[in-house]
Structure 1
């Protein structure tokens, strides 16, 4: 744990060489000289907002260099999160290939820091949960966390302009931690069951935790969906998971 940290907006090189805004938080103090892991935080569908930036700072408090790329920066530079998210949704969301390029750029930024030990994990909530799994199927990452990501399995509606990841899961390159609410519809418990069966059948390292009386967005402290017990336990699982794979 770090008692002090620094946080600022930076620019990373994302997909197609684009210069993308990102939010970086780092521990400060005696740990500055120590090699440490990095965490790429993928923001949820509502966008690059205050709640997501608080999560980035929380990872810095846990002792990691952490960064969140603004996935909607191209569509709405400088816009408020809600407006940027609405613009991105109207265009069908973030294309998977572009997402992979932005996450790869964020991971490269973390590995280039003088404090980096070379290991980088990824975490996402909501749409970011699916994108976290997608990233772990294609990029050099040492751990991935899926917080109730919809349409890793299951059938997305046509307007979402995406596919599920069933055909890509055999390429999963990193251990996966999944955190899900049993009252969620996207993903439903049945869709989580399907994902777990696929991972078990192919021998992928994974760990799932499911919470009763919790639906979608149970980590979101600013929403009625927030469930304190599930969120607190979820943070403990995340800390233990990254402590194992990024140390």
Structure 2
């Protein structure tokens, strides 16, 4: 989730993995806003190196990644012919899997877990 989603993308591009899941990974595309304490480079240039399919779960109310960032990643995946499956959830923002946060969205989470289990079942 979040930075873990970014690390999942990075791992799928750097290691010989069969599949990866990106749950709202920030800054795979796009850059952190000015003043953010940690600055990082986007990872989209590594898309060509992905070793397996990518499942992405995103909230349409998220800022990082925003729907435009998700669109940008989707275009990059298409351009490189990489297999992927993206799902976007309305009325859902960043951190929607975290049960201890106001952003928690049970319906999105239940659907997301079903998709994760199916995706790994098909690809591992």
CA distance in 2, matches of 1:207, 1:150: 17
Aligned to 2:2: 126
Aligned to 2:17: 141
Question: Is residue 222 of structure 1 aligned with residue 122 of structure 2?
Answer: no
**SS state at 2:87 partner:** strand
Aligned to 2:113: 235
CA deviation map 1:46-81 (0-9, x unaligned): xxxxxxxxxxxxxxxxxxxxxxxxxxxxxxxxxxxx
CA distance in 2, matches of 1:177, 1:168: 16
CA contact (8 A) 2:20 2:53 kept: yes
Aligned to 1:205: 83
CA deviation map 1:104-163 (0-9, x unaligned): xxxxxxxxxxxxxxxxxxxxx011101100000010111100000010000124632320
CA distance in 2, matches of 1:141, 1:157: 31
| Residues matched between the structures, number | 122
Aligned to 1:61: none
Aligned to 1:155: 31
Runs of 4+ in 1 over 4 A off after TM superposition: none
CA distance in 1, matches of 2:42, 2:11: 13
CA RMSD of aligned residues (A): 1.0
Query: Of the two, which has the highest radius of gyration?
Result: 1
User: Superposed, which structure 2 residues align to 1:165-180 within 5 Å?
Assistant: 165-180=43-58
**SS state at 1:150 partner:** coil
**SS state at 1:168 partner:** helix
Higher strand share: 1
CA deviation map 1:6-26 (0-9, x unaligned): xxxxxxxxxxxxxxxxxxxxx
Aligned to 1:49: none
**TM-score, scaled relative to structure 1:** 0.48
Cα offset, 1:201, TM superposition: 1.4
**Greater relative CO (CA pairs within 8 A, separation 6+):** 2
Q: Which runs of 5 or more residues in structure 1 are unaligned?
A: 1-124
Aligned to 1:42: none
